[in-house]
Chain A
Amino acid sequence: MSLIKTIQSRQIPLALVVLFPWIACFGAPVLSLVYQAFFSVGEAHLFDPLVIAKLKMTVFQSGISALVSGVLGFGLGWVLRHHPSAHAWLRIPFGIPSLVAVAAWTSLGVSYSLGAVIWAHVFFNVPWVALSVAQAAGSVPRTWDETAQTVGSSLWARIRWVWWPVIGPAWIVSMAQTFSWCASSFVIVLILGGGPPVETLETAIYSSVRAGTLDLRQACVLGVWQLLLGFGPGWLARSCSGRLAPERIRISVSPARKVSSSVWRRGLAAVWVFPYFVFLKDLEWSAWSDLAWRELRVALFFSLGVGVMTAFFTVLWSALAVLFLRQVPRFFESLLTLPAGVSSISLALGFWLAFARWIDPFEGSLGAWIAIQSVIFSPMVLRTFLPIAAASPVAALGVARSVGASRWQAFWWVDWPRWRMPVWNSLFLVCSASLGEVAVVSFFGSENLTTVSGLISRWMGLYQFNQAYGLSALLMGMVLLLSLGGGFFEQKNRDFFVR
């Protein structure tokens, strides 16, 4: 009804601007993928033994990775729960592109096996789980535990009734996210796995279309399983996060005890970061050919261009979506954040199927890169913007309007200061995420049209590690710089609210 009201209240252009890109870049691709999985020509079907073998491998490697990350992350998070200064180290791996992780682990000799894939995934995700657990545990008021102790509760009872209600959902959500992330991991499996039999749904989709002989039906069937695998943990995460009381886990106002971090605790957190810098010792710029430099220049040009465009469109769309969501039921919020659970390769495949008449993945497509990356990153930005929109200073805006300010002026002077930092932060973070993105870039890339991450992936595929390491170092530098930029705006934003 509210949607109808929105349309009736002359909000049609806004609804169109928000829903049309979503339908074109997410709805239509997903529907095309599902349709082609059942109705296109080919032998593969959902329960084809080979498809099931790839599904099992995906579930197995993601399950083991999530489980090990969960156990280690829980322990690490518990140890670091009162040490926010050590948390900064745990945040660093979020900014490390998976390609850089591949470069690091190959230089350390961890490669060509399922063990290498799981190792890389665990190393990436332990800090994530640990941070979730530490933030949740750190937010439990000290008085709760002390009260429980005073009334004679056992350690088990305190864990069960004081800590677990806060830590448990956070832990389960982070494990579900880890599982989902590992299931849709592309480049780590592709390079570190060493080829078949270590093949997941994601790499198999890519081989079915781009690397081997064309088998569209199989790619779509694999894509459907990948969608199901992505939505399952996503649903679990969403239902659990509903049980997380936001006021309990807001670290900035945590009433928990804060103590200075000992060196060993900081070291424990830093251990998860150092391996990513090890490959820097193998850098050898002199070995680069003129052709490699030329390719790098072109790739850098495209990377920055696509990063900026993706950031611009993602933030613009998310801002409009927030305005739209204020006027429609909550169901639309779930709908617009659905792409968070979808793998990049499945979406790229669906996008291509939906727009095959105009796009040839072998020729490359800048438009496809920007569109798909924007869809993938939009839930992250949307979730950043929604709480800001929810806390709109209605009274102050009303006062501004009453003294003669136009709607735009009122927004600019009253509301925009709250938005400015999150907007800049999101622009930096999306740009940084786009720079490191490799699956979509590989799917819609060509020899002449590639980004820095696509070039690293290609060079790694050719096992030209010297050049790949050099480029990985450059990519890591750019991404960390952008993340620092994002972090700077986040800090400024906090300062603003504290003031």
Chain B
Amino acid sequence: MRRLVIPLVLGFSLGLAPALWRPTLALASEAELRVLTYQSLSAPEALRSVLFEAFEKRCNCKVRVQSAGDAAQILSKLELETLRGKAITHVVVGIDQTLWPQARKSSVDLKIRFPTAPQVEPEAKSELWQGFIPFDWGVLALLSREKGAPPLQWQDLLKPEFSKKLILQDPRTSTPGFAWLWGAHQSRGAASADFFKALRNQWLTLTPGWSGSYSLFLKGEAPWVWTYSTSLAYHLEKQDPNSYQVHFFKEGNPIQVEGAFAVAASLKTPEDQERARQFLEFLVSEKVQAEIPLRQWMYPARKGVKLPRSFQKVPLPPSILRWNPQEQDFRQLVRKWEEWIRP
């Protein structure tokens, strides 16, 4: 009998131990700011110390950061919180301008003047973004390590020499991937359906997120990757011996503006709202903005921030494409795209 009982008790205890682990968010303590962001933004080499830890010291409060994969997952997480009636997030950091129309209903405008102020870079500014605080922006482009003829326009990507040489991101799950979709859609207009039908045989793979596609590119799986033009600055800064080139399209390249916002449902007290407002103002302060280039590898939203030399070597596109929420809708465009690429 003892031979049976002892292993069972041991096994049960061993199994029970992890159940006592409490990785989930603790209940709100006295002064706490709960921030939801994507994984790479909260990493130690990204903004963790200069934003979250620095703000913790300034406000004398606890900043609890929760990561949710990437930007699209942030939105899903937020929607789930609303559906469950358990809003716990105070501030969301890292959603882009294309997801903003969906996230807007969850937000509260804390009347921060920064988005419309003259010190914002024109690329990161829009009158339509009340409540959305832009903190960085970037241009999406093709980066290559090949010296061959680059694609000059979107249509060139259908040429046989690019077959299975492109690494892109899934537009449903990745914001750069979605920028690819709406950028091409804006440029190709009515011909989009045919363009994407033909393009589905050209890419090597669609990864769920940007980091996956960039890892594949660095591993040498394909010579072209859809990424931020400032990725070039990263390689220059790290003194990468490989030579990389950024290529823009004649019709223009999409830009991505990342922003933050306060969540209405969880900011119940004036103290909570004030803490969220202070955090958002800190995010666009000169101190944090100066850290954006070498930590986020994006352009800061604030004008006048001195850019590192590597950034000055990154070319700018001849023209940029802007997301227009009044003419384009995230879900509808994604649905259309799914129909276009359907086998």
Question: Residues of A with Cβ closer than 8 Å to B?
Answer: 49-50, 53, 57, 111-112, 194-197, 207, 209-214, 216, 301-302, 304-312, 356-357, 360-364, 366-367, 370, 412, 427, 446-449, 461-465
Contacts and interface: CB of A to CB of B under 8 A. Distances in A.
A19 B319 CA distance: 65
Interface string B159-190: 00000000000101100000000000000000
Contact of B25 (A57, A210, A310, A363): A363
B209 A461 contact: yes
Interface of B: 1, 8, 11-12, 14-19, 21, 23-25, 39, 67-69, 72-73, 75-77, 79-81, 83-84, 86, 99, 102, 170, 172-173, 200, 204-209, 211-213, 215-216, 219, 330-331, 334-335, 338-339, 341-343
A54 B72 CA distance: 21
Given A50-B338, A301-B18, A449-B23, A211 B206 contact: no
B173 A207 contact: yes
B343 A462 contact: no
B72 A211 contact: yes
A448 B22 CA distance: 10
A305 B14 contact: yes
Nearest to B24: A363
A211 B342 contact: no
A308 B11 contact: yes
Contact of B341 (A197, A211, A361, A446): A197
12 contacts: A49-B342, A53-B342, A112-B205, A197-B341, A305-B14, A305-B18, A308-B14, A309-B16, A309-B19, A310-B15, A449-B23, A465-B219
A462 B173 CA distance: 13
B72 A213 contact: yes
Contact of B79 (A57, A214, A367, A412): A214
A302 B172 contact: no
A356 B206 CA distance: 31
Given A362-B73, A465-B219, A194 B25 contact: no
A212 B79 CA distance: 12
Given A197-B343, A463-B212, A364 B206 contact: no
Q: Please classify the interface of chain A as helix (H, G, I), strand (E, B), loop, or mixed, using the class held by over half of its residues.
A: helix
Given A211-B69, A446-B23, A304 B335 contact: no
Given A196-B338, A211-B69, A356 B215 contact: no
Contacts of A212: 72-73, 76, 170, 172-173
Contacts of B204: 112, 194
A302 B8 contact: no
B80 A213 contact: no
B87 to A, nearest CB: 12
A306 B72 contact: no
A403 to B, nearest CB: 19
B42 to A, nearest CB: 9
A361 B69 CA distance: 13
A468 B67 CA distance: 21
B333 to A, nearest CB: 12
Contacts, number: 139
B291 to A, nearest CB: 21
A192 B16 CA distance: 35
Given A194-B206, A196-B206, A446-B23, A362 B72 contact: no
Q: Which of B15, B339, B343 has the most CB of A within 10 A?
A: B15
Closest 10 CB pairs of A and B: A309-B15, A195-B206, A305-B18, A194-B205, A448-B23, A463-B215, A308-B15, A212-B172, A214-B76, A112-B205
Nearest to B218: A463
A312 B329 CA distance: 50
Given A213-B72, A306-B15, 4 more contacts: A209-B76, A310-B15, A311-B11, A362-B80
B76 A464 contact: no
Nearest to A308: B15
A449 to B, nearest CB: 5
> Could you say which of B19, B86, B99, B330 has the most chain A C-beta atoms within 10 Å of its C-beta?
B19
Nearest to A192: B205
Contacts of B83: 216, 356
B342 A464 contact: no
B55 to A, nearest CB: 21
Given A212-B173, A213-B172, A305-B14, A197 B67 contact: no
A304 B24 CA distance: 20
Contacts of B170: 195-196, 212
Contact of A360 (B72, B84, B216): B84
Contacts of B79: 214
A364 B343 contact: no
B267 to A, nearest CB: 20
A305 B343 contact: no
Nearest to B78: A214
Interface hub of A301, A309, A362, A464 (most chain B Cβ within 10 A): A362
A357 B213 CA distance: 36
A370 B17 CA distance: 13
A304 B14 contact: yes
A362 B102 CA distance: 19
A213 B330 contact: yes
B104 to A, nearest CB: 14
A471 B77 CA distance: 29
Nearest to B99: A213
A462 B212 contact: yes
Contact of B1 (A214, A310, A412): A412
